[in-house]
Structure 1
Amino acid sequence: MVQPLLDAPTQDRLTAVTVSDVPALAAGTAIFGTGGGGSVYTSQMVTEQSIAEHGPVPLVTVDDLGPEDLVVLVSGIGAPTVGIEMLSSATQIQTLVDEAERCAGRPVTTLMAAEIGGSNGVSPVGWAAKLGLKILDADGMGRAFPDAAMVAMNVAGVPCEFSVLSDVVGNVSVLRTVDMHWLERHARALTVASGSICLGLHYPMTAETVRGAVIEGTVSAAIRVGHALLSSPEPVRAVAAELGGSILLTGKISDLDRRTEGGFSRGSVTITGTGEDRGRLQRLELQNENLIVLEDGEVIVSVPDNVTIIDAETGHAITTEMLRFGQRVCVLAWAADPIWRSPRGLELAGPQAFGYELTYTPFEGATR
């Protein structure tokens, strides 16, 4: 059984996402993006406008779903660096849903973020408002990952019946692959051919198949984390406390190697400690997301545990495509959802899945 990312309050459950919730949602999903998922700036503005125009979006739980419901995952796919300049079209999401309904033979009622991280955690709310659909308080990753196979449903053994991709000029592709690894290969090739950015819809699920196969409570969790960040006079500490995480290092970016290849943003960033951390140095390995933290040749944190680079003063997350030399930052880390620490989870999203020949050691918190 997939567990909720964070324990949700038992009372005052959020039942709709309103315009006033979107800034907190964006701030929280940027944190959960672990460097990836795309910048939230544009998606926040578009989602606020969509809700203002069409009204609040019903936020439903797995238990709220009925036999008439069809849940589909939606997300952007490609290199976040490209996504800054190439925006989606106004009709792209409607095109995807129309094609999905043709493939499924029934109406889509509920959208779910493929990943709660970054813009991919915000945009589905705006799309749901525009289409008059519900949003599921869950996602497929509990963070952001760069590979289509790295989803909770794949860990749980739920097959993906079909996927639909659409690019900004209107090309539509329907994929029926033998497994999620083949979906990643085909979808990535199509995305690169489309300029390295697309929108995707996949994993149609019913109320029966979604149960136990998604990470529940992540939309409301992101909003809570965002509120903690936006309302606290000490946002860095507030975010770390809300997540049960640790600040590994405070310093400035002293070196940055980042390139776009094969539909990914890849590279590394070096952070030199300042203040109490003067004399220390950490290097983070990147592939859309922050994957590995090293200090003095030792692995401090590794994927699937979560690492986010945040602004040292504001606490806002800085995505990989927005990293700049000289930025004053903190390195924030917290434990992965339990599903990713399972044998199947580590097979799909552990260090070796990204080509690192090292044994995963669970991150349980660190102090200076």
Structure 2
Amino acid sequence: MSPIGPEWRDTRAVNPSKVPGRIGLREVAAFARGCAVLGCGGGGGVTLAERLARDAVARFGPVRVVDFDDLAPDAFVMPCGMLGSPLIFEERLPTGDEPAELLAAVQAAHGRRVDALMPFQLAGANGLVPLAWAATVGLPLVDADGTGRPMPNMATVMGLSGVPPTPAFVVDGEGQRITIRAATRDRFVTTAFGVLAGVGGLGAFAFELMDASVGRRAAIRGTVSRALAIGRAVLTRRGAVEAALPGGRVLARGRIRHLRHDTPDRGKGGSLLVEDTDGHRLLRVEFQDEFLLALDGGRVVAATPDTIVLFDAETRRPLLIDELREDRFVTVVAGDGPAAWRTPEGLALAGPAAFGLDLPDGVA
């Protein structure tokens, strides 16, 4: 695997004043907004997860954010989050016991203490849940994650680096703890989703546990800092929203036209056009669970693994796909995605073809 580019490995090289030592109550809202941006229209709404994080930080205190280099090489790191439907997450409130049960299951199976938590996917609600859990169990949160954007089927850059996914752990907050051991990654994914169905479609999840020495080379570093910096830029209205994204650029600013969903239940993706304010240009955006592709006059101007975001032009709030409406005034912004997904192996999982989008040869 090619090395991860410095613009995503460590945001201290980009904005050294924004690296958080801790995330307290004053930072939660900005972090939530940044996670929403990195959700690319998917990943679930952040409202409930932000409330959980705020409540946990208010009760247990700020969460210390650490780099892998701040940890001993043999420190044990637990990538974690909620696995399942964002809709179920919003309808079925967590019990509050999930983080302690997950930690107990992991430590019992491995016979060692967990030293830090890490979001396995810092996008939407799943960026905030590990923050809430870290506050609850009193552990630091590593300034890293495994995807840098939404990814299906639990694909992560740790997996690309050869970190074994199992043993993996699922708990449901009601005392049920399940350990998954699988011979192959494909078998692990199949089993995990089978387990998920057995616990009602939603569970607290931990997998690809690793030592800090492994995380230094295998994870995407600096993404917690990145989300916080993005959220601050958006919330404070200081400068253009695209300036907060690596390689950020405005693709269009105008009204949504011809919003189309492939199925009546809006469950299988679709497309839309944004009519630019000059009236002479139409930007086409394709989406499934998140925004995947943008074309200007048939020319690809952004494609997964790029970060593609539709902001409400009035409020600067990143929009979920479920919030799209005809005639809504939006700003379409794109940024460069994590370099780890730009390798041939990464593009096989995160590139347009992985989502069934057939682009011309040489276009990634």
Kindly, what percent of the aligned residue pairs are identical?
Answer: 31
Q: State whether structure 2 residue 253 is matched by structure 1 residue 247.
A: no
Give, in angstroms, the shift of residue 296 of structure 1.
Answer: 4.6
Partner of 2:116: 110
Partner of 2:83: 77
More moved, 325-334 vs 19-28? 325-334
Q: State whether structure 2 residue 65 is matched by structure 1 residue 59.
A: yes
Answer whether contact 1:77 1:200 (CA < 8 A) is retained.
yes
Gaps of 5+ in 2: none
More moved, 241-250 vs 317-326? 317-326
Give, in angstroms, the shift of residue 177 of structure 1.
Answer: 2.1
Give, in angstroms, the shift of residue 227 of structure 1.
Answer: 0.8
Answer whether contact 1:80 1:321 (CA < 8 A) is retained.
no
Q: Work out the CA distance in 2 between the residues paired with 1:213 and 1:260.
A: 40
Of 268, 272, 282 in structure 1, the residue corresponding to residue 274 of structure 2 is: 272
C-alpha offsets along residues 206-239 of structure 1, whole Å, 9 cap, x if unaligned?
A: 12221210111111111111111111266xx2x2
Q: Work out the CA distance in 2 between the residues paired with 1:332 and 1:163.
A: 36
Answer whether contact 1:81 1:321 (CA < 8 A) is retained.
no
Answer whether contact 2:42 2:124 (CA < 8 A) is retained.
yes
Q: State whether structure 2 residue 130 is matched by structure 1 residue 124.
A: yes
Partner of 1:206: 211
Answer whether contact 2:169 2:207 (CA < 8 A) is retained.
yes
Partner of 2:169: 164
Aligned length, in residue pairs = 355
User: What letter matches 1:92 in structure 2?
Assistant: E
> Residues 141 and 171 (structure 1 numbering): CA distance in 2 closer, same or farther, change over 3 Å?
same
Answer whether contact 2:165 2:188 (CA < 8 A) is retained.
no
Provide the aligned C-alpha RMSD in A: 2.5
Gaps of 5+ in 1: 363-368
Of 85, 94, 97 in structure 2, the residue corresponding to residue 91 of structure 1 is: 97
> Residues 83 and 330 (structure 1 numbering): CA distance in 2 closer, same or farther, change over 3 Å?
farther
C-alpha offsets along residues 96-142 of structure 1, whole Å, 9 cap, x if unaligned?
A: 11111111111112110011111111111111000111100011111
Answer whether contact 1:273 1:281 (CA < 8 A) is retained.
yes
Give, in angstroms, the shift of residue 16 of structure 1.
Answer: 1.1
Partner of 1:304: 305
C-alpha offsets along residues 145-172 of structure 1, whole Å, 9 cap, x if unaligned?
A: 12212x1111222222311123365543
Answer whether contact 1:249 1:277 (CA < 8 A) is retained.
no
TM-score (norm 1): 0.88
> Residues 106 and 322 (structure 1 numbering): CA distance in 2 closer, same or farther, change over 3 Å?
farther
Answer whether contact 2:42 2:150 (CA < 8 A) is retained.
yes
Give, in angstroms, the shift of residue 279 of structure 1.
Answer: 5.2
Q: Work out the CA distance in 2 between the residues paired with 1:226 and 1:357.
A: 33
> Residues 217 and 313 (structure 1 numbering): CA distance in 2 closer, same or farther, change over 3 Å?
same
Q: Work out the CA distance in 2 between the residues paired with 1:265 and 1:74.
A: 26
Q: Work out the CA distance in 2 between the residues paired with 1:189 and 1:260.
A: 26
User: What letter matches 1:247 in structure 2?
Assistant: V
Q: State whether structure 2 residue 182 is matched by structure 1 residue 174.
A: no
